Amino acid sequence: MRISFQADADLGPDIGRGLRRTEPSLDFRHSADIIPDGTPAAEVLRVAAEAGRVLVARDVRTMRVHFQEFIAERESPGVLLIPSSRSTGAAIEGLWMVWLTWAPEDFRNQVRWLP
């Protein structure tokens, strides 16, 4: 079984477009109309969890704290953090490699960094 991703609003749409060009079968849902910019982290985590998707975010400063609070009360498919210093091309390549090599259970209730 492959990982399904949910983009946070802080992730640009170019990453999703690049992933679809790289691997059309990769399940990457952009935040448009699902997670508006400014949505509280707890709500973002809830949306991703209810959809069974690993949240992909650039919020490396505060998302870990919000995530720990979230999993104290419920299960989560996990979070994958991408530092804002990582280029769009590098983020696309890293997400594709994660999708190819990691399983959903590698993320369950975990915060991971894009390799």
CATH code where residue 88 lies: 3.40.50
Strands, sheet with 79-81, edge to edge from the N-terminal-most edge strand = 27-29, 4-7, 54-57, 79-81, 111-113
Q: Are strands 4-7 and 54-57 parallel, antiparallel or unpaired?
A: parallel
Quote the pLDDT of residue 54: 98
Quote the pLDDT of residue 112: 96
Model's pTM, two decimal places? Answer: 0.95
Quote the pLDDT of residue 114: 93
Quote the pLDDT of residue 39: 92
Quote the pLDDT of residue 30: 93
HSE toward the beta carbon, residue 105, CA cutoff 13 A? 1
- CA-to-CA distance for 59 and 84, rounded, in angstroms? 8
Residues of the chain scoring pLDDT < 50: none
Quote the pLDDT of residue 36: 87
Number of domains forming the structure of the chain: 1
Domain span at residue 17 reads 4-113
Instruction: Tally Cβ neighbours within 10 Å of residue 111.
Output: 19
